[in-house]
Amino acid sequence: MSNDVRVRYAPSPTGHLHIGNARTALFNYLFARNMGGTFLIRIEDTDLKRNIEGGEESQLKYLKWLGIDWDESVDKDGGYGPYRQSERVDIYKKYYDELLDRGLAYKCYCTEEELEKEREAQMARSEMPRYSGKCAHLSKEEQAALEAEGRVPSIRFKVPANKVYAFTDMVKDEVSFESDGIGDFVIVKKDGIPTYNFAVAIDDYLMKISHVLRGDDHISNTPKQLMIFEAFDWEPPTYGHMTLIVNESRKKLSKRDESIIQFIEQYAELGYLPEALFNFIALLGWSPQGEEEIFSKEEFIKIFDANRLSKSPALFDKQKLAWMNNQYMKKLELDDVVALALPHLVKAGLVKEQLNQEEENWVKGLIALYQEQMSFGAEIVELSSMFFKDEIDYDEEAKAVLDEEQVPEVISAFYDEVDALTPFKADGIKQAIKAVQKSTGQKGKKLFMPIRVAVTGQTHGPELPNAIELLGKEKIKKRLERLKG
């Protein structure tokens, strides 16, 4: 079967690559690669009013950034193109003309106002709103009269009566819909552009799509697409509808939900690692065997099994994403971490764009200090803020430490050691702290905590001697002087 597997990711260029769409693309990609099949990208751009400039390019750019490649698309013809629906309008015409000729579709001349009135009347009678089918039996003369009024028709598919459309879903198992709950639906709009469900069914057949893996919000489209396949006596693909992604309140992930970063582009800009994001998204609604959660792309391809797609909603856990990205960060070469973090220090106006060798070494040391705890590149700005302040505002926790009785003696002794220290390097600073221990008799938290809080304003942080070296002798002396009174 492997060579027969053909799957597609079919974005609309109406926006940027969203986390939910990225998951759809990623699962299709993994399924195709695991099965030795073909993964194609088709651009569903028939909703011309909603398309945004650069939408298509953005989708493809950030799929590549994530590490997803494809076998066929607008930039890689595999013999099934064109891969933009807007360039396939003539292809669709052949098929809707055939449906009209066979009486399986008809022209509808109803205006939006008439359709709205019909819907309101049905709702007033507590009926499910659906098209009544009143244009289904118009004579040629009646059609001509309506056209003479200047009415432009849409084309509706004639939904078979009293029929059940059932299919075995890769995720949900057995699913069925009754045709009587679905009104005759529009397959070609008044402007001559086919609608989503019609174009998708035609494309999936002509592009030999074997499996359609998509989000749960598409499941109500499936019976309409099955009807199109049935009308042409075509074998439909196997469908799989992945469960929703939910936020920490267990509500569907919405583009308006500001508690979660929604777009892949934003993650790239914040200095997340594509490998980490790939790993995280692959576990949104799919689970491997065992407890391991960190996998390379190649490992995912090897172990991906569509039977392990979850039947429960996938929780978008921000803390887990931060943890996972941190796991990847810790394994990076320092130069790669610098490349991710430095632009954010520059953007924040903390570091110059052009650095001399001494400044470059200092920044590199600063970023190295935080590599172990950094979750993403932009976090360096907040983590390292103490290095860019002339004076520290001590919070309540810090003040409590500085109020301890041994602090004045420790601070005074440490100041003397710092003042005499040349060169001002981490090893020497370590020895200076030991000398303070000897002269004051203080040790452990009683020794280290006052020094840390005095010079950094924080009760915890990176390796203290390294941090002190990077802060520099003059800044450290100033901070200690202020506390000496």
Which residues does the annotation mark as catalytic?
255
How remote is the C-alpha of 152 from its chain's centroid?
Answer: 41
Burial of 456: CB neighbours in 10 Å, binned 0-12, 13-18, 19+: buried
Farthest-apart Cα atoms in the chain, separation: 109
Single out the residue of 344, 275, 286, 289 nearest to residue 315, CA to CA.
286
CA dihedral 24, 27, 29, 35 (to 10 degrees): -140
For residue 12, the tally of other CB atoms under 10 A from its CB is 19
- The H or E element containing residue 232 is none
Q: Which residue has the tokens 């057949």?
A: 205
Contact 25, 63 (CB under 8 A): yes
Angle at which helices 318-331 and 274-282 cross, to 10°: 140
Measure the CA–CA gap between 351 and 342, rounded to whole angstroms: 8
Give first-to-last CA distance, the chain, whole Å. Answer: 80
The beta strands (E) that lie in 154-270 are given as: 154-157, 164-169, 173-178, 186-188, 211-215, 238-242, 245-246
CA dihedral 293, 294, 299, 302 (to 10 degrees): 10
For residue 68, the tally of other CB atoms under 10 A from its CB is 22
